[in-house]
């Protein structure tokens, strides 16, 4: 079950995180349904329902993987089961501070790295159990996100170099530079436009306008990716808990 999230946009950081996470998950709910029955997909840790016998057969949660839902989704697929996507809503507040967000995102990225490494200990067996198409898809999704996060700052530097060097120097150094720059601009434009539309439908214009800060958000993800890489080497099992229930809109407890 993969659900849009983001509850309680009270400050700049929270609004940006709410807009990004909510819009991305809304788009996933729309686009991923066609894939989940054919390809391996991660189980969402927000709301998950299992038959107890099936969960035990899959080996239950990996206590050493800090993003256990990603690993469990692959193991369920290896057993021939599928992860279904329900395009519904849940209320979960976005992290309220940059520090809380960084800790959460570091844990997610480290867990995805752990999942990739664990499944690659026996790659041929994993590919056989998942079947080639699902194997490639799962590693493109998880591996691609991790790799993109690690490389993204260098893309910024490259684009900045192209812009500062001028057209003549740029063409002399790399005749494909204009094409690469157009792909860069088109990819960013389409991503920002799609995210803004989804965020506006989900949260309204006041939150959707924060999508313009997405380049900053992506740099924050890159910082979390390098922090996750460092933790993977030094503290692989360290679990940075995310504190929830801080929203002032949380339901009041009954007396």
Taking 90 as the threshold, does the pLDDT of residue 230 lie above it?
yes
The answer as to whether 83 is a domain residue is yes
Residue 35 has pLDDT above 70, yes or no: no
- Evaluate if residue 227 carries a pLDDT over 60: yes
- The pLDDT score that the predictor gives to residue 91 is 64
* Residue 58 belongs to some domain of the structure: yes
Q: At what angle do helices 98-119 and 132-173 cross, to 10 degrees?
A: 120
The pLDDT, as a whole number, for residue 28 is: 47
Query: Per the domain annotation, does 163 fall within a domain?
Result: yes
Question: In this structure, is residue 250 part of a structural domain?
Answer: no
- Residue at 205 is within a domain: yes
For every residue of 109-139, DSSP letters joined together read: HHHHHHHHHHHTTSHHHHHHHH-HHHHHHHH
pLDDT at res. 36: 47
- CA dist., res. 92 & res. 69, Å (int): 17
* DSSP type of residue 50: -
Q: How far is CA 107 from the centre of its chain?
A: 11
Domain count, the chain: 1
pLDDT band with cut points at 50, 70 and 90 for residue 42 = low
The predicted pLDDT at position 221 comes to 92
pTM tops 0.75: yes
The CA distance from 144 to 180, in Å, is 19
User: What is the mean predicted confidence (pLDDT) over 1-26?
Assistant: 56
113 lies in which domain range? 12-234
Does residue 7 sit within a domain? no
Give the CA angle between residues 67, 211, 225 to the nearest 5°.
30
Domain membership of residue 253 (yes or no) is no
| Residue closest to 68 by CA, chosen among 243, 245, 244, 239 | 239
Question: What is the spatial distance between Cα 207 and Cα 102, in angstroms, rounded to a whole number?
Answer: 20
In a domain, 251, yes or no: no
């Amino acid at each position: 079950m993969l659900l849009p999230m983001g509850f309680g946009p009270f400050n700049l950081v929270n609004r940006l995180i709410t807009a990004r996470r909510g819009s991305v998950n809304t788009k996933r709910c729309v686009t991923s349904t066609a894939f989940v029955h054919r390809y391996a997909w991660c189980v969402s840790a927000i709301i998950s329902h299992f038959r107890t016998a099936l969960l035990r057969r899959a080996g239950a949660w990996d206590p050493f993987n800090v993003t256990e839902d990603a690993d469990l989704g692959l193991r369920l697929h290896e057993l021939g089961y599928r992860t279904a996507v329900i395009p519904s809503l849940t209320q979960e507040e976005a992290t309220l501070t940059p520090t809380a967000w960084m800790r959460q995102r570091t844990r997610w990225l480290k867990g995805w790295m752990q999942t990739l490494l664990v499944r690659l200990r026996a790659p041929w067996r994993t590919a056989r159990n998942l079947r080639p198409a699902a194997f490639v898809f799962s590693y493109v999704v998880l591996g691609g996100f991790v790799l993109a996060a690690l490389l993204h700052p260098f893309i910024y530097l490259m684009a900045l170099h192209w812009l500062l060097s001028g057209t003549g120097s740029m063409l002399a150094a790399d005749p494909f530079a204009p094409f690469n720059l157009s792909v860069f601009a088109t990819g960013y434009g389409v991503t920002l436009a799609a995210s803004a539309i989804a965020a506006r439908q989900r949260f309204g214009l006041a939150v959707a306008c924060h999508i313009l800060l997405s380049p900053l958000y992506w740099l924050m993800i890159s910082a979390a990716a390098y922090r996750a890489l460092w933790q993977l080497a030094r503290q692989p099992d360290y679990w940075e808990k995310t504190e929830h229930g801080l929203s002032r809109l949380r339901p009041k407890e009954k007396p």
